[in-house]
A and B are shown apart, each in its own frame.
Chain A
Amino acid sequence: DAGVIQSPRHEVTEMGQEVTLRCKPISGHDYLFWYRQTMMRGLELLIYFNNNVPIDDSGMPEDRFSAKMPNASFSTLKIQPSEPRDSAVYFCASSLQPDRPGTDTQYFGPGTRLTVL
């Protein structure tokens, strides 16, 4: 399997522009997670899905952020409008339903480094 795929790997945009980050989870995985990594706050969960349904979006910073998972093989994280403080590395991760210990290990994509000028 190719692992979790994220695109783009790097994104530079100007304040006020819309940004869309994309993720393709590992085939067959039931869960998809979006994390954000910054120097100040470290790694923190934004939102996660189970079978394409959002389960916990309490980490989404504000209404400018939205995430969708239209099918089992694709998810997007959108920021509209973007602000300089959104600059961070955004990771997508996926895992299986834990039917036994160890099977729900989260596998991470390579991340998207977002810079908002």
Chain B
Amino acid sequence: AQTVTQSQPEMSVQEAETVTLSCTYDTSESDYYLFWYKQPPSRQMILVIRQEAYKQQNATENRFSVNFQKAAKSFSLKISDSQLGDAAMYFCASQNYQGGSEKLVFGKGTKLTVNP
């Protein structure tokens, strides 16, 4: 079974600083995807970044980047130059790839506070 663990229930960062959110996962599949979703107070789930497990290169999206350590089953999210609008719940998720779209398995989330 897939599992996703986020060990930091809450994190805080000063505006313009860098913060890293941790995530570990477990899956028996060899082909899978990993995601970070952001959920602001509006509760809309917004995709931040995704990583294909077969790719060694870490994904980046503007100020957001990941550190994907496949052997360690670790998938952390780094937010650079933090902005007030980054404050939200962040969920790490995994998805097995078996030829079709599959369910996402989510971690419990990390609440990020950005201090001005």
Contact = CB atoms under 8 A, between A and B. Distances in A.
A98 B107 contact: no
8 contacts: A45-B103, A89-B43, A101-B52, A102-B52, A107-B47, A110-B44, A111-B44, A111-B45
Query: Could you tell me the dominant secondary structure of chain B's interface residues?
Result: loop
B101 A97 contact: yes
B106 A98 contact: no
Contacts, number: 58
Nearest to B91: A43
A56 B100 contact: no
A102 B101 contact: no
Interface string B35-49: 001000011111100
Query: Which residue, of B37, B46, B103, B106, has the highest number of chain A Cβ atoms within 10 A?
Result: B103
Contacts of A44: 106
A96 B105 CA distance: 18
Given A33-B103, A45-B103, A56-B103, A111 B97 contact: no
Interface in B54-76: none
Interface in A70-102: 89, 91, 93, 95-98, 101-102
Query: Which residue, of A56, A104, A113, has the highest number of chain B Cβ atoms within 10 A?
Result: A104
Nearest to A59: B103
Given A101-B52, A110-B44, A43 B106 contact: yes
A52 to B, nearest CB: 14
Query: Could you tell me the dominant secondary structure of chain A's interface residues?
Result: strand
B101 A110 contact: no
The size bracket of the interface on A is: 20 to 34
Given A43-B91, A43-B106, A98 B42 contact: no
A35 B104 CA distance: 9
A11 interface: no
B45 A91 contact: yes
A98 B101 contact: yes
B106 A42 contact: yes
Given A30-B101, A42-B109, A98-B100, 15 more contacts: A31-B100, A43-B91, A43-B106, A55-B100, A91-B45, A96-B101, A98-B99, A104-B101, A106-B47, A107-B47, A108-B44, A108-B45, A108-B46, A111-B44, A111-B45
